[in-house]
Amino acid sequence: MVVEQKVIGMTGDEAIAYAVKQVEPHVVAAYPITPQTIIVERFSEYVADGEVRTEFVPVESEHSALSACVGAAATGARAFTATASQGLALMWEILYVASGLRLPIVMAIVNRALSAPINIHCDHSDTMGARDSGWIQLYCENSQEAYDTTIQAWRIAEHPDVRLPVMVNIDGFVLSHTLEDVRVLPDEVVKKFVGEPSVPKVRIEVPADGGGTKVVEVDYKLDPWAPYPLTMGAFAMYDSYFEYKRQQEEAMKAALRVVEEVGREYGELTGRYYGLIHTHQIEDADVVVVGLGSAMGTASVAVDELRREGHKVGLLRIRCFRPFPAEKIREALRGVKAVAIMDRAMSFGGPGGPVYTEIAAALYTERERPLLVNYIYGLGGRDISVADFKKVLLETLEVAEKGEVVEHMRYVGLRG
Amino acid sequence: MVSGRKARRITLKDVLARRDLLYSGHRACAGCVSLTVIRQALKAVERPTIAVSPTGCAEVTTSIIPYTSWGIPWIHSAFENAAATAAGIEAAFRAMKRMGQVKEIPDIIVFGGDGGTVDIGFQALSGAAERGHDFLYVLYDNEAYMNTGIQRSGATSKYAWTTTSPAGTVIPGKPQWRKPIALIMVEHRIPYVATASPSEPMDLINKIRRGLDAEGPAFIHVICPCPRGWRFDPSKGIEVARLAVQTCAFPLWEARWEDGQLEFKLTGTSLAIAKKPELKKPVEEYLRPQGRFRHLFEPEKREDLIADIQAGVDAEWAYLLKRAGLA
């Protein structure tokens, strides 16, 4: 049964702030940075007007923003923050603390280029660098998805099999500052969907009455009223550290399932279904363009136009980049002759952009592999048009026809 | 407002009746004063309390998996973010109370070393103080990065040897005076700031209680002589701390901001010295037992450098007397 939904004109930033308001986490700790600032501005208005009971902590840096979220989440409370670019870079250290402590923090990232030279516009260099920090990464195509994904993020993060922090990514300015019609759920439906925050039980060994020790189960949180106090963020040597890291990998694997389950459940509620990847016209495609974020909306127009001209082209958008849905992508690309892989970030000196290398690795175990071409595009907010995508697809059709890739890495819209 | 909760003064009898909340079996060095300070401080616990530590000696020695020395809930996150972590904990309980999920906000106490407080953690501390989060930050100051092996910090005393301010043939130890962290915290206009020494435990314990009871941020700077880093016998930690107070190298005081007015007063031995100046010992008596100042005495006595330290100590003492209205 799809719930009746109101339509509100909102930017991507506002859509995220609105979703966070409806979830009403205990703590929002954030620092302003373009193009994320609207999220904290809108949210502080909700606080000032008494629309939420959330404690808003206007910290003095992004490092402290995420640190405050770690402290808050360690008490079993819900915590949210938002950042971009340099702000994420400053948080780097604490990204690993949050995931290592298994704290289900939700963070919106408004993707922006990294300095130097300084640039405030969109690319994915910020979060691509954080791809191995143990955070789940979901990339949105439009503001509707930004709203929907922010709500789903809590369910994914807090799932007992997952317990990992989640980044909800939207493209700077392209989505953050662009007005769209967004369908929103009633507050109580959102509250019911996310449910009450829960914490897992952990087992600790404590002194027993009359000597010796016993094992007890306690809530995994800082609880000064609990009969047995918990030590969190302890010092692990070579005899235990490895096991903690192995457990994080298991949680990531579980997240592959949970992202899909939550996306399906959300679809039943709203009519908008979400998965790990989204495809368009790939069933009989010879050539597929793969990428993530808002540009894939533009790409879909190019695909449709080329289809009308009789070209067998399709599109695969990766919504969940971490954990990487390798199996889904292998399945989707079976039978495809050539793939254009779009990267809005560089891996300097690497074999290709981050999306390219992941896809290449995922396909390596396939008996029949498509040809791959890596396209670097849109760095520092350089626009990519329908015409650009048509060119990319036509070039890749040529590669498919010739059966060989001459130039593995190409640049879209680069001068000179 | 300094205090919503007026606690009764904690007596020695109380302290003896209270169980230790920092357990034995930790891995600190022999004679470590920082854990003695934490043990003393936790004698002031009277309400549900959560502790936070940045990376440092007290963190690595008390929490080696699978053991813990902490008898209250405790968290370590990273080196420079203890104040921000504590701020997040406080904010969470504030919201949970507003939402009816908890009845009260627990006491929150941070135990940070000088590196994590005076240097790398200062931004988070200053920010949390400005925002007015209700927690007590206790600086256990061993005057260097002892956990990584005695490197100089912004809190290291002038002319002290450390592994990154060696006593060389040209430069005689650390060239700079230490950062006046407690006075900097007073200027944040937070409700309660104090200094304390483990050589005067009842003063320390009651200051901790007052810091916890203050409504808003509180900061207590505790001197923590380190036998390894300061190069003295592990049995002498409390004696060295006592000499620091008796020579006015580390004066004891407390400062309260209440209704826009600052009340600044000397306490314990420092108040006694203010009343009877002849009790003030020369700083040389504090420097001499410490191997980190050996180059001031051997191979030849550097009267010039000792006089320079004495002048610095005297100037700081004169400033504090004036601040306390005693000069």
Task: Compute the distance between CA of residue B216 and CA of residue A309 in angstroms, rounded to an integer.
Answer: 69
Going by pLDDT thresholds of 50, 70 and 90, the confidence category of residue B26 is very high
Picking from A396, A390, A347, the residue whose alpha carbon sits closest to that of residue A372 is A396
Collapsing DSSP to helix, strand or coil, B130 comes out as helix
The whole-number average pLDDT for the span A75-79 is: 98
Min CA distance, B100 vs chain A (Å)? 11
Say how many C-beta atoms besides its own lie within 10 A of residue A213's C-beta: 10
Q: Which fold has domain B12-323?
A: Rossmann fold (3.40.50)
Chain A's closest residue to B101, CA to CA, is A77
DSSP state letters, B54-116: -SSHHHHTT-BTT---BSS-EEE--SS-HHHHHHHHHHHHHHHHHTTS-SSPPEEEEEEEHII
- The contact set of A with B (CB < 8 A) is 26-27, 29, 53-55, 57-61, 63-65, 67-75, 77, 79, 93-94, 97, 101, 205, 222-226, 229-237, 240
Is the Cβ pair B92, A72 closer than 8 Å?
Answer: yes
Integer-rounded Cα Rg, in Å, for chain A is 22
**Probe site for chain B from A24, A60, A198 (most B CB atoms < 10 A):** A60
ipTM entry:
0.97
Across all residues in chain A, what is the average pLDDT? 97
**Probe site for chain A from B74, B85, B105 (most A CB atoms < 10 A):** B85
- Kindly give the residue spans of alpha helices, DSSP state H, lying in A276-414: 295-308, 326-333, 354-363, 386-402
pLDDT over 90 at A413, yes or no? yes
Integer-rounded Cα Rg, in Å, for chain B is 19
Chain B's closest residue to A78, CA to CA, is B92
A/B interface, count of CB pairs below 8 Å: 159
Q: Could you tell me which residues are beta bridge partners of residue A206?
A: A214
pLDDT over 60 at B285, yes or no? yes
In the block, tokens 């203050």 appear at: B214
Chain A's closest residue to B127, CA to CA, is A60
Sketch the domain layout of chain A as residue ranges: 6-195+259-266, 200-231, 277-411
The whole-number average pLDDT for the span B115-127 is: 98
Is the Cβ pair B73, A79 closer than 8 Å?
Answer: no
pLDDT single digits (tens) A251-292: 999 999 999 999 999 999 999 999 999 999 999 999 999 999
Across all residues in chain B, what is the average pLDDT? 97
B30 Cβ under 8 Å from any chain A Cβ? no
Going by pLDDT thresholds of 50, 70 and 90, the confidence category of residue A1 is confident
pLDDT over 60 at A166, yes or no? yes
Min CA distance, A119 vs chain B (Å)? 26
pLDDT single digits (tens) A22-68: 999 999 999 999 999 999 999 999 999 999 999 999 999 999 999 99
B96 Cβ under 8 Å from any chain A Cβ? yes
Q: What φ, ψ does residue A309 adopt, rounded to 5°? A: -85, 0
First to last CA, chain B: 28
B59 Cβ under 8 Å from any chain A Cβ? yes
In this prediction, what percent of chain A has a pLDDT beyond 90? 99
pLDDT over 90 at B137, yes or no? yes
B88 Cβ under 8 Å from any chain A Cβ? yes
pLDDT over 70 at B246, yes or no? yes
Which residues in chain B touch residue A61, judged by CB atoms under 8 angstroms apart? 123-124, 127
Min CA distance, B52 vs chain A (Å)? 9
Going by pLDDT thresholds of 50, 70 and 90, the confidence category of residue A331 is very high
Is the Cβ pair A233, B84 closer than 8 Å?
Answer: no
Q: Which fold has domain A277-411?
A: Rossmann fold (3.40.50)
Class in CATH terms, A6-195+259-266? alpha beta
Sketch the domain layout of chain B as residue ranges: 12-323
Task: Compute the distance between CA of residue B298 and CA of residue A120 in angstroms, rounded to an integer.
Answer: 59
CA of residue A40 relative to chain centroid, distance: 19
Is the Cβ pair A235, B131 closer than 8 Å?
Answer: no
- Do residues B28 and B142 touch, judged by C-beta distance below 8 A? no
Is the Cβ pair A68, B75 closer than 8 Å?
Answer: no
For position B7, what pLDDT does the model report?
74
Contacts of B322 by beta carbon, 8 Å cutoff, 6+ apart: none
Is the Cβ pair B127, A67 closer than 8 Å?
Answer: no
Which residues in chain A touch residue B106, judged by CB atoms under 8 angstroms apart? 224
For position B4, what pLDDT does the model report?
56
pLDDT single digits (tens) B73-104: 999 999 999 999 999 999 999 999 999 999 99
Is the Cβ pair A75, B84 closer than 8 Å?
Answer: no
Min CA distance, A229 vs chain B (Å)? 5
Crossing angle of helices A354-363 and A326-333, in 10° steps, is 70
Does a cis peptide bond (omega within 30 degrees of 0) precede residue B299? yes
The C-alpha angle with vertex B100 and arms to B94 and B102, in degrees rounded to 5, equals 65
* CATH topology identical between A6-195+259-266 and A277-411: yes
- Do residues A299 and A387 touch, judged by C-beta distance below 8 A? no
For position A416, what pLDDT does the model report?
77
**Probe site for chain B from A75, A230, A239 (most B CB atoms < 10 A):** A75
pLDDT single digits (tens) B213-231: 999 999 999 999 999 999 9
Min CA distance, A40 vs chain B (Å)? 16
Task: Compute the distance between CA of residue B296 and CA of residue B284 in angstroms, rounded to an integer.
Answer: 10
Q: From the list B63, B89, B131, which residue is nearest A72 (CB)?
A: B89
Q: Could you tell me which residues are beta bridge partners of residue B194?
A: B220, B254
For position A150, what pLDDT does the model report?
98
CA of residue B35 relative to chain centroid, distance: 12
pLDDT single digits (tens) A171-228: 999 999 999 999 999 999 999 999 999 999 999 999 999 999 999 999 999 999 999 9
Chain A's closest residue to B57, CA to CA, is A235
**Probe site for chain A from B47, B59, B74, B75 (most A CB atoms < 10 A):** B75
For position B1, what pLDDT does the model report?
42
- Do residues B103 and B97 touch, judged by C-beta distance below 8 A? yes
